[in-house]
């Protein structure tokens, strides 16, 4: 029991609960199913991105190319599917977007592991190159006539309800995909040898090599996986907003990295959990999605986000420093 | 035989002589950013007008929205010796020095979406921002039956024209629809449809009396359409605002949103070039209050009271599901 209380996740959960009660106290519509379902849906895309970033950060690296990779993957996928007038299963767009993501992730891994370059510089470069390539050779216009399977996916709810005023609310099925991917990443990190290797590499690279971990393979795995998750998050995003916009997702990298760090992952590597990351994502989605509910004027919204983020991070960091929590 | 030769020589001389007499103007239209649907449409207008008039007209713009790159392009055009520049500035202030340099070199400068520009011959705006906003509210109030709460969106609280549209809309509501009210201060959505969608969903939860959405930036049309359709609120919550047919068509057709408004960049491109040619022909006097420029929305342009170089059209286009297919941008 004592061990559970020492964990960062519980601490983060308390901050999240406190914030929820504060928001719910000032406006009771916060607790309505309409709002809760909406918050869960908003966390899907950021959550899937965060899982990929978590893997990379735990391994001691960083990836800031993932929004560019996501846009590249979904835009090419949608453009191609429109070209062949695709009407088949939703699996095909997902697999295609994921595959493009994997290829770009492996390119990152190749550059980082072969030339021993700094991940920040490499992913900054690939992100910029990928965006430029997309705009120069593939297209710059926003596509709004998505293939039917993607429109159907955006309408997929596992639970729907008609409210008294005649409006409809639904719990988006896309959340199930997030849960499944989170379980998969948690399983890899906790159970498999590859997962232990990711922690070992992030903890101490030289020790990991001496202990016989296949460092090169681990690089390819983490960045490849981050690319795959970026591709999946991209196609989900594009479906949910029903637009394929080649200028989309700019600036999301900071929010996602903030969520992962808030979740207890260390930017120096070797530390971080899936549960913590999910809580970090929920925290950011909750803050961003409650400003109108609480009635904070538009001019003050950015200030509020900044103050809450710094406070939450400081509390978590202080907690880890004093209790040595993992 | 000799006669035929002399005749053809004569014809040749007459033709070349005529061509030399009608000197072609070189006029460049410099836009904020090249490669987006909006300015692709403007290029169509500029190219059409080049064909109609036989002048040498073309459009250029930086690959990304960047004030410094736009300055560089204008520097190059001054060096090339163009006769006139039609400019849609990304940053009005950043262009002042280079436009001054252009005018000092005798180049005519016409600008658009730049009501505060100083170093310019004529500024032509598609419309008066307040009138544009009032027209949005006219449709929204009608659809809402003149009752209930509404919200307004802007891309950013610092974007001047969008905030003037909303000022115009709110002023119109206060005058004509006293039973309507704004439920929360205008919402910032950063020209991102995802943020529009999430903020509108949140506003619908927070304010049960919300019946109308007045959209400033273009992506609000898509975000509002999605939020209304998803919640099955067609006919209960209404949207009117700026939008592009290519992005909003699916929601116009499904009945989630009723009308979108915009101005046609192709016509804006033609009007700028027409004014530039008129000035080069020495007919600047013809660009005056009430002048008819011969394009839809520019039949009777208005001169600004304080700023003599500033003119407005009434060039907005209102699109409903009936005419959404007429526009391909």
Summarised one tens digit per residue, pLDDT across range A260-318 is: 999 989 888 999 999 999 999 999 999 999 999 999 988 888 888 888 888 888 887 78
B68 neighbors B12 (Cβ within 8 angstroms): no
10 Å Cβ neighbour count for A145?
Answer: 14
Contacts of B166 (CB under 8 A, 6+ apart): B133, B152, B154, B186, B214, B216
Burial A43-60 (b: 16+ CB within 10 A, else e): bbbbbbbbbbbbbbbbbb
The phi and psi torsions of B319 (rounded to 5 degrees) equal -115, 130
B111 neighbors B120 (Cβ within 8 angstroms): yes
Residues of chain B with CATH 3.40.50.2300: 24-120+265-315, 129-263
* Residue B321 burial class via C-beta count within 10 angstroms: exposed 0-12, middle 13-18, buried 19 and up: middle
pLDDT for position B14: 53
| Closest residue by Cα to residue B97 from B118, B116, B122 | B118
Distances, alpha carbon A36 to alpha carbons A28, A49, B202, B219, in Å? 12, 21, 10, 25
Residues of B in contact with A144 (CB under 8 A): 222, 246-250
| Closest residue by Cα to residue A259 from A308, A297, A195, A196 | A308
The CA-based angle A144-A146-A150, given to 5 degrees, is: 135
Is B247 within 8 Å of A241 when comparing Cβ atoms? no
Q: What does the block give as tokens for B266?
A: 């192709």
User: What is the distance, to the nearest Å, from the Cα of residue B170 to the centroid of all Cα atoms in its chain?
Assistant: 21
Distance CA A263, CA A278 (A): 7
Distance CA A144, CA B225 (A): 12
The torsion defined by the Cα of A172, A178, A180 and A185, in degrees rounded to 10, comes to 180
Q: Which residues of A touch B (CB under 8 A)?
A: 27, 29, 32, 34-35, 38, 42, 135, 140-142, 144-145, 155, 162, 165-170, 237, 241-243, 245, 248, 288-293, 295, 297-299, 301
Is A142 within 8 Å of B37 when comparing Cβ atoms? yes
ipTM over 0.90: yes
pLDDT for position A1: 42
Name the 3-class secondary structure at A41: helix
Residue with tokens 């690279």, as numbered in its chain: A205
| Closest residue by Cα to residue A320 from A10, A42, A1 | A10
A210: closest CA of chain B, how far (Å): 47
A12 neighbors A279 (Cβ within 8 angstroms): yes
Residue with tokens 């009271």, as numbered in its chain: B305
Instruction: Report the Cα–Cα distance between both ends of chain B, in Å, rounded.
Output: 58
CB-nearest to B233 from A35, A135, A167 is: A167
A22: closest CA of chain B, how far (Å): 15
pLDDT for position B10: 58
pLDDT for position A4: 56
- H-assigned helices in A59-166: 66-83, 91-115, 119-133, 148-154
Beta bridge partners of B187: B153
CB-nearest to A144 from B186, B203, B249 is: B249
Residues of A in contact with B230 (CB under 8 A): 155, 168, 170
pLDDT for position B5: 59
In chain B the beta strands, taken as DSSP E runs, fall at 26-30, 56-60, 84-87, 108-111, 122-125, 148-154, 180-182, 187-188, 210-215, 238-242, 259-263, 302-303, 310-312, 316-319
CB-nearest to A243 from B186, B193, B203 is: B193
Is A237 within 8 Å of B63 when comparing Cβ atoms? no
Identify the DSSP state of A143: B
Instruction: Report the Cα–Cα distance between both ends of chain A, in Å, rounded.
Output: 16
| Closest residue by Cα to residue A197 from A219, A181, A176 | A219
CB-nearest to B198 from A289, A295, A301 is: A289
Is B35 within 8 Å of A237 when comparing Cβ atoms? no
Distances, alpha carbon B55 to alpha carbons B14, B74, B107, in Å? 20, 20, 16
Is B63 within 8 Å of A135 when comparing Cβ atoms? yes
B205 neighbors A293 (Cβ within 8 angstroms): yes
* Residue B280 burial class via C-beta count within 10 angstroms: exposed 0-12, middle 13-18, buried 19 and up: middle
Contacts of A186 (CB under 8 A, 6+ apart): A273, A274, A275
Is A292 within 8 Å of B232 when comparing Cβ atoms? no
Name the 3-class secondary structure at A265: coil
- CATH code, B24-120+265-315: 3.40.50.2300
- CATH code, B129-263: 3.40.50.2300
B68: closest CA of chain A, how far (Å): 19
Residue with tokens 């208005």, as numbered in its chain: B302
Is B202 within 8 Å of A35 when comparing Cβ atoms? yes
Q: Which residues of B touch A (CB under 8 A)?
A: 35-37, 40, 63, 157, 184-188, 192-194, 197-199, 201-206, 208, 222-223, 226, 230-233, 236, 246-250
User: CA nearest A248 in B: which residue?
Assistant: B192
* Residue B16 burial class via C-beta count within 10 angstroms: exposed 0-12, middle 13-18, buried 19 and up: exposed
Distance CA B124, CA B180 (A): 34
Distance CA B128, CA B172 (A): 14
Instruction: Quote the pTM value.
Output: 0.87
Q: Are strands B148-154 and B26-30 parallel, antiparallel or unpaired?
A: unpaired
Beta bridge partners of A159: A171
CB-nearest to B35 from A140, A168, A297 is: A140
- CB contacts < 8 A, A to B, total 88
Tens of pLDDT along chain A (326 residues) come to 455 555 788 888 999 999 999 999 999 999 999 999 999 999 999 999 999 999 999 999 999 999 999 999 999 999 999 999 999 999 999 999 999 999 999 999 999 999 999 999 999 999 999 999 998 899 888 899 999 999 999 999 999 999 988 899 999 999 999 999 999 999 999 999 999 999 999 999 999 999 999 999 999 999 999 999 999 999 999 999 999 999 899 889 989 999 999 998 988 899 999 999 999 999 999 999 999 999 998 888 888 888 888 888 888 778 777 765 44
User: CA nearest B226 in A: which residue?
Assistant: A241
Q: What does the block give as tokens for B250?
A: 């699916």
Distance CA A70, CA A50 (A): 13
Identify the DSSP state of B146: T
Contacts of B12 (CB under 8 A, 6+ apart): none
pLDDT for position A73: 98
| Closest residue by Cα to residue B166 from B143, B146, B189, B148 | B189
Burial A108-130 (b: 16+ CB within 10 A, else e): bbebbbeeeeebeebbbebbeeb
pLDDT for position B115: 87
Residues of A in contact with B246 (CB under 8 A): 141-142, 144
B101 neighbors B85 (Cβ within 8 angstroms): no
Q: What does the block give as tokens for A231?
A: 């591709």
**Domains, chain A, ranges and CATH?**
7-321 (1.10.3470)
For chain B, list residues with pLDDT below 50: 17-18, 20-21
């Amino acid at each position: 029991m004592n061990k559970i209380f020492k964990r960062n996740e519980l601490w983060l959960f308390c901050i999240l609960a406190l914030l929820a009660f504060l928001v719910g106290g000032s406006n009771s519509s916060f607790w309505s199913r309409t709002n809760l379902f909406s918050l869960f849906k908003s966390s899907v895309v950021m959550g899937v991105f965060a899982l990929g970033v978590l893997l990379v950060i735990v391994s001691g690296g960083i990836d800031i190319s993932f929004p560019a990779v996501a846009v590249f993957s979904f835009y090419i996928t949608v453009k191609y599917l429109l070209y062949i007038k695709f009407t088949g299963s939703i699996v095909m767009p997902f697999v295609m977007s994921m595959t493009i993501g994997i290829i770009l992730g492996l390119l990152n891994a190749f550059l980082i592991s072969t030339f021993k370059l700094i991940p920040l510089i490499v992913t900054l470069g690939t992100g910029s190159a990928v965006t430029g390539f997309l705009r120069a050779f593939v297209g710059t216009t926003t596509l709004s006539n998505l293939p039917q399977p993607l429109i159907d996916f955006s309408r997929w709810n596992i639970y729907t309800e008609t409210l008294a005023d005649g409006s409809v609310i639904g719990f988006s099925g896309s959340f199930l995909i997030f849960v499944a991917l989170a379980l998969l990443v948690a399983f890899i990190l906790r159970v498999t040898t590859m997962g232990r290797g990711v922690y070992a590499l992030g903890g101490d690279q030289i020790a990991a090599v001496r202990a016989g971990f296949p460092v090169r393979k681990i690089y390819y795995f983490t960045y490849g996986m981050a690319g795959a998750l970026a591709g999946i998050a991209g196609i989900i995003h594009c479906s949910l907003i029903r637009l394929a916009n080649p200028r989309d997702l700019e600036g999301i990298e900071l929010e996602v990295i903030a969520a992962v760090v808030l979740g207890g992952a260390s930017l120096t590597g070797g530390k971080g959990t899936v549960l913590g990351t999910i809580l970090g994502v929920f925290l950011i989605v909750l803050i961003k999605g409650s400003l109108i509910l609480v009635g904070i004027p538009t001019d003050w919204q950015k200030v509020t986000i900044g103050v809450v983020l710094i406070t939450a991070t400081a509390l978590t960091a202080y907690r880890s420093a004093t209790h040595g929590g993992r | 035989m000799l006669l035929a030769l002399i005749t053809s020589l004569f014809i040749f001389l007459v033709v070349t002589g005529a061509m030399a007499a009608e000197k072609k103007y070189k006029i460049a239209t410099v836009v904020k950013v090249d490669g987006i649907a909006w300015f692709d449409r403007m290029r169509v207008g500029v190219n059409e007008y080049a064909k109609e008039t036989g002048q040498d007209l073309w459009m250029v713009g930086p690959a990304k929205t960047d004030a410094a790159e736009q300055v560089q392009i204008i520097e190059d055009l001054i060096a090339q010796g163009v006769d006139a520049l039609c400019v849609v500035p990304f940053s009005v202030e950043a262009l002042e020095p280079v436009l001054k340099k252009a005018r000092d070199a005798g180049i005519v400068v016409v600008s658009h979406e730049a009501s505060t520009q100083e170093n310019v011959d004529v500024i032509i705006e598609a419309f008066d921002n307040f009138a544009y906003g009032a027209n949005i509210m006219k449709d929204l109030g009608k659809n809402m039956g003149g009752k209930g709460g509404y919200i307004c969106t802007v891309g950013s609280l610092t974007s001047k024209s969008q905030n003037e549209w909303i000022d115009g809309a709110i002023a119109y509501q206060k005058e004509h629809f006293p039973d309507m009210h704004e439920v929360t201060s205008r919402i910032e959505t950063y020209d991102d449809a995802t943020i529009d969608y999430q903020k509108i969903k949140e506003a619908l939860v927070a304010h049960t009396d919300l019946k109308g959405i007045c959209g400033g930036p273009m992506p609000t049309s898509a975000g509002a359409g999605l939020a209304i359709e998803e919640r099955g609120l067609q006919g209960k919550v209404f949207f009117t605002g700026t939008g592009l047919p290519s992005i909003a068509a699916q929601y116009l057709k499904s009945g989630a949103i009723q009308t979108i408004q915009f101005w046609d960049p192709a016509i804006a491109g033609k009007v700028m070039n027409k004014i530039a040619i008129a000035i080069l022909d020495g007919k600047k006097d013809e660009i005056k209050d009430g002048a008819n420029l011969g394009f839809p929305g520019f039949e009777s342009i208005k001169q600004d009271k304080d700023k003599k170089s500033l003119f407005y059209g009434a060039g907005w286009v209102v699109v409903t599901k009936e005419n959404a297919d007429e526009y391909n941008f």
